[in-house]
Structure 1
Amino acid sequence: MKKLDMNASKEQSFCYLSEDYKQIYLPLTYSIIFVLALPLNGTVLWFSWHHTKRWSCATIYLVNLMVADLLYVLTLPFLIITYSLDDRWPFGELLCRLVRFLFYTNLYGSILLLTCISVHRFLGVCHPLRSLPYRTRQHALMGSATTWALVILQLLPTLAFSHTDYVNGQMICYDMTSPRNFDQYFAYGMVLTMSGFVFPSVVILVCYSLMVRSLIKSETLERTGSTARAKSIRTILLVCSLFTLCYVPFHIARSFYLIIRFLPSQNCQLLIVASMAYKIWRPLVSMSSCLNPVLYFLSGGNNRIRLFQELRHNKVGKHPAGAEGKMPRGGQIWVLSR
């Protein structure tokens, strides 16, 4: 049983809540995400680095997305160990702050990069000629750099709010902040939700609404072709699925939990429900780290074809000449599907 502070800054009133489920649920879900996301994102980065001669704008955004996923996935072993030890944090203050920071960096960095991808696709479908000067690799690199800068600036306060503390004789790492700082964190958390989730979601929704309206027109099909139209439809469906499965439920549960904790109401049962909903959805939002690589391969048919060729090549092992990757004469190198 754990003592849950309802509103320590106003009144000392506590709920007692059993969180035994966390010792099984959180290590299990984080382990599944780690096992799936690490090879998927690693494969995308390796494939992009070795088998893509010139990165397109979409590839630049998606590779940055994979980097954000990997930075977070590499912190999962710390969380798996911690929740297996009943919330005991044995890794010190610095790693506590870093792990919490990287979780939100991955979350809001992914949302903003998906927004960039959506705007890029919108311009290509709805304004293909007028937007040509803006749909360049240089602008994609600038957009990615701006995204990282905005995310880091937004999340610097998490490095101050998150910290370790001793509760019931054991060190813990606060996911949000300690009870005494919760009022300040509530204001910051709601602003972060608006700027990092609500505003980008509105931008994506507007872009996709205009894209769908444009794609159903016959003249658009003639201009863009069936292949480009299919790619745009896949992007819309995949990004909407990511938001529906991962980001929207998490932010609803998190906002509900923050509001219930902030209100002076002493409804203990409601607070327990809000706490459980948030802690159940917290690892599920990280499933986006497993789905983002799927977006990379399904957003372009060539990516899938080249990957399958490479896997087939590796499965064969050696070429008939006897030396892997080499031609028998002239020292030339035979690189498959570059």
Structure 2
Amino acid sequence: MDATDLPSTVSWTMPEDSTHVSIVPHWTRTEEDTNTTSILVSCPMEPKHISIAIVLCMILLLGLLLNIFSVWVFMRRMPKWKPGTILQFHLAVSDAAICPLAPFIMVYFAKGGNWPFGNFMCRLKIALLTTHFYGSILFLTLISVYRYVSVVYHRQDSRLKQKDFVKKLCAGVWLFVLVKGAVCAALIGESTVGNQTVCLNIHQTNNINVYFAMNLIFFIPGFLVPFSISLYCYIRLARSVSTINICHQKGKRIKSKSYKMVAICLVIFGLCFLPMNVVRTVVVVVKKYFSGNCDLLSKVETAYYVSWVLSSANCCLDPLIYCFSSENFTKAVRSSLRKIGVRIQTPQEDSAGRGQQENNVVAHYPTWDITDERT
């Protein structure tokens, strides 16, 4: 029997008198020309462990609380905004945008990968995920560039130090990611695989070419270039911070907080965004060129969902950046917490009685130190 004798589709069946799955390959036949035929094998969908959905939803719900609180602090407790404040505010909004998806994702996983909410909600989910993912990357990159310019070139004028210019940059980022999200939502929607309705799933064979092209287009400009820029900026920033005089308590505190801030930013890129981009690339390559290797496809699919959980964790990590990069934000948070009866003892308050001479002894840097930036 040659390829032309194969049926175009064969479903997976389970005999009623057996507890084992009787697997019949699902063949999809694509005519390349009049003389050749390529055959793509579709593997059965396997439900993922519910723990993935539980952890993901917990992260998104925690991220929602943290970012709503952060947005509230920016809007209500910090009336005077500087360029750094503007960038951090837009990052918080970008993080909060994905969090309402938590209940929908939980139901999706709980139903074994069956999407019950319709095509419109599927496309909305895709648009929000895309907007959040690339919006967070770009705003983090702008924050790293702004901090680099503010510290390394603090005596020079720069357009990044102008609020109007930064607002235009943020508007441009939002326009870019919203258009990207809309394009992704227009190209990809829900589809039926076997007897299940799926949304943004690698088993959507009809979308594999779209997935492959989108990943290729988005990977370099959407992740690799921003990550390289951020890495360069933070390396230079760390070198500048290393020159701070640590003979006094304030110098030690500034240096410690600055290194923590740099570490958090690099962890966000390395832990949250790098695995997702790498694993997603592997997934689309395996699905497109090795679709018959069901065991390999199942493993990379699991890795994809794990990387998805990691990428969502940036919603919870980004608020740490606000605390380490802006003393004004930290003070506003402490003030807000005191109003509800929560008091946080800070190292600054703990060492307040040790003398005031350390307040003016940070060598090489003026009082706008990089952990404050007067944002």
Q: TM-score, normalized by length of structure 2? A: 0.75
2:160 matched to which residue of 1?
Answer: 134
1:75-109 per-residue CA deviation (whole Å, 9 max, x = no partner) reads 22111112112222221111110111101211110
Secondary structure of residue in 2 paired with 1:11: strand
Is the 8 Å Cα contact of residues 27 and 83 (structure 1) preserved in structure 2? yes
Question: Are positions 1:182 and 2:208 aligned together?
Answer: yes
Question: Are positions 1:282 and 2:308 aligned together?
Answer: yes
Question: Are positions 1:44 and 2:70 aligned together?
Answer: yes
Is the 8 Å Cα contact of residues 234 and 299 (structure 1) preserved in structure 2? no
Residue 281 of structure 1 deviates from its aligned partner by: 1.5
Measure the CA separation in 2 of the matches of 1:228 and 1:5: 61
2:177 matched to which residue of 1?
Answer: 151
Measure the CA separation in 2 of the matches of 1:149 and 1:122: 25
Question: Are positions 1:67 and 2:122 aligned together?
Answer: no
Report which of the two structures shows the higher radius of gyration computed on alpha carbons: 2
Cα gap change, 1:133 to 1:168, in 2 (>3 Å): closer
State the AA in 2 paired with 1:146.
G
Measure the CA separation in 1 of the matches of 2:85 and 2:196: 45
State the AA in 2 paired with 1:37.
G
Is the 8 Å Cα contact of residues 211 and 284 (structure 2) preserved in structure 1? no
Is the 8 Å Cα contact of residues 37 and 289 (structure 1) preserved in structure 2? yes
State the AA in 1 paired with 2:272.
C
The answer to which structure has the higher helix fraction is: 1
Cα gap change, 1:68 to 1:164, in 2 (>3 Å): same
Question: Are positions 1:14 and 2:42 aligned together?
Answer: yes
State the AA in 2 paired with 1:262.
K
Is the 8 Å Cα contact of residues 163 and 177 (structure 1) preserved in structure 2? no
Cα gap change, 1:175 to 1:169, in 2 (>3 Å): closer
Measure the CA separation in 1 of the matches of 2:122 and 2:106: 13
Q: Percent identity?
A: 26
Is the 8 Å Cα contact of residues 8 and 179 (structure 1) preserved in structure 2? no
Measure the CA separation in 1 of the matches of 2:256 and 2:138: 23
Is the 8 Å Cα contact of residues 90 and 170 (structure 2) preserved in structure 1? yes
Residue 201 of structure 1 deviates from its aligned partner by: 0.5
Measure the CA separation in 2 of the matches of 1:107 and 1:260: 23
2:263 matched to which residue of 1?
Answer: 237
State the AA in 2 paired with 1:130.
Q
Residue 298 of structure 1 deviates from its aligned partner by: 2.3
Is the 8 Å Cα contact of residues 64 and 144 (structure 1) preserved in structure 2? yes
Measure the CA separation in 1 of the matches of 2:127 and 2:167: 23
Residue 314 of structure 1 deviates from its aligned partner by: 2.2
Secondary structure of residue in 1 paired with 2:198: strand
Per mean C-alpha deviation after superposition, the further-off stretch among 118-127 and 128-137 is: 128-137
Residue 234 of structure 1 deviates from its aligned partner by: 3.6
Measure the CA separation in 2 of the matches of 1:145 and 1:177: 36
Is the 8 Å Cα contact of residues 91 and 139 (structure 2) preserved in structure 1? yes
Q: How many equivalent residue pairs?
A: 313
